[in-house]
Amino acid sequence: MTSSTSAALLFLHVLAERNGKPSGLLIEVGAGQLASVMVQAEGEPLRGMAGSLACFYRPLVDAQLAAAWQQAGWREMPAGALCRADDRLASDFQPPAAQWVEGNWCMAPPAKPTGAQAASRAHALQMVQLVAADADTHEIEALLRRDPTLSYNLLRLVNSLGMGTGRRITSFSQALLILGRQQLRRWLNLMLFAARQNDERSAMLLARVAMRSRALELLAKSRGLDKNTQEQGFMTGMFSLLGVLFGMPLTDVLAPLALGEAVHVALLRREGELGALLMLFETAERGDLDGVAAQLEALQIPHEEFNQAIVDAASWMQGALRESQGPSNG
């Protein structure tokens, strides 16, 4: 496999509204042939995104390229409409004209939980441990019964997947039977990040972790890694933000988990195939597309395949966000 340098690299940053809800995308495009960027702009996946999210590009000098993005339904970010927040989201720190927020504000430590919040967070951490250990279904079901939010979100998600059974799934045991353990494990972990009361970070964290997880899985496939390693790529992306979610050092969160060595060294030391893919995605999140190009060359992943993985991951993230939103996400 030879890395192609003809295609311009792209990355899609998730944008939040002023209240922290992830509702937009901002495309970052690296240097490359204009024609290749035009093809990306005219592709069906990017057109589809513009139909369900507010999709923006940064002001462009090239009028031809701007016209291509506009034709695909993307808009130029208005002057003053975007602000950056890396420490806190508080609206009094946002310029009055700002409508959209980028940055790493959702990575800030959570407020110290008290009462019901602390219990819910403890249940969530227990869930991570049980799922990672491939625990007995009855153990997981017992924990779900103690956390109505996790139970509600899980069953809502499973029913939304439309498995063609023609019946509603009303119990965890049904969900396990229909979905299979691997798919169910994915959704359980995603639900740990689903919106919870009094944590303004959670919806954006769900968006970020969903995109990371799916992208690492797809990039592992581009590397020619087997199905099991692709699944480990997904879990690496998922677990990489658990420390942020719980406000704990990642080493402490991972300590009781029965993780494979490949995932463990990827998360804690950024080593191995999965560690390299995680670093690649983190470089892209920082907007360093030159750094991404260098890492892709070393990994022998073509630019086109990286771009496709990012677009597919963003689309998958949209689905995860959509299905996590319900009338009661407390």
pLDDT tens for each residue of 60-70: 767 888 888 88
CA distance 36 to 262: 35
Please give the Cα distance from 177 to 283 (Å, whole number): 39
Pick the closest to residue 192 from 105, 285, 320, 281 (CA basis). Answer: 320
Side chain identity at 5, as an amino acid letter?
A: T
114-134 in b/e burial notation, b at 16+ Cβ within 10 A?
Answer: eeebeebbebbbbbbebbbee
Identify the pLDDT of residue 330: 38
| pLDDT for 279 beyond 60 | yes
DSSP 157: H
CA distance 83 to 234: 31
Report whether pLDDT(188) > 70: yes
pLDDT score for 329: 40
Among residues 48, 98, 102, the alpha carbon closest in space to that of 285 is found at 102
Q: Is the pLDDT of residue 149 over 80?
A: no
DSSP 3-state assignment of 314?
A: helix
| Entry field: residues in the chain | 330
Q: List phi, psi (to 5°) of 28.
A: -115, 125
The pLDDT assigned to 145 comes to 79
Whether 3 shows a pLDDT value over 70: the answer reads no
Q: What angle do CA 211, 217, 222 make, to 5 degrees?
A: 120
| Rounded-to-integer distance, Cα 235 and Cα 229, Å | 10
**Domain ranges for the chain:** 10-107, 114-198
Query: Which DSSP letter does residue 329 get?
Result: -
165 falls in which pLDDT band (50, 70, 90)?
Answer: low
Q: Are 52 and 318 in contact (CB under 8 A)?
A: yes
**β-strand pairing of 100-102 with 82-84:** parallel
Which residue in 8, 24, 159, 150 sits closest to 99, CA to CA?
24
The pLDDT tens digits for 235-275 are: 999 999 999 988 889 999 888 887 889 999 999 999 999 99
What pLDDT does residue 131 have? 77
Residue 9 Cα distances to 6, 210, 211, 309, angstroms: 9, 21, 17, 11
The per-residue pLDDT for 110 is 83
Q: How far apart are CA 47 and CA 70, in angstroms?
A: 10
Q: Lowest mean pLDDT: which of 60-74, 171-185, 225-239?
A: 171-185
Handedness of CA 263, 127, 319, 289 (dihedral sign): negative
How far is it, in rounded angstroms, from Cα 172 to Cα 184?
Answer: 10
- Residue 328's pLDDT band, with cuts at 50, 70 and 90, is very low
User: To the nearest whole number, what is the mean pLDDT of the chain?
Assistant: 83
Closest CA to 321 of 205, 164, 238, 228: 205
In the numeric block, the tokens 């919870």 are attached to 196
- Residue 19, pLDDT > 80, answer yes
pLDDT at 266: 98
Lowest-confidence region among 102-106, 111-115, 272-276:
111-115
pLDDT the model gives residue 2? 43
Q: How confident is the model at residue 183 (pLDDT cuts 50, 70, 90)?
A: confident
Mean pLDDT of 61-80: 87
- Higher-confidence residue of 17 and 116: namely 17
Q: Average of pLDDT values for 198-223?
A: 93
- pTM of this structure: 0.86
Does the pLDDT value for residue 276 go beyond 60?
A: yes
Residue 297's pLDDT band (cuts 50, 70, 90): very high
Q: Specify the range with the lowest mean pLDDT, choosing from 4-13, 99-108, 270-279, 318-327.
A: 318-327
Q: One-letter amino acid identity for 172?
A: F
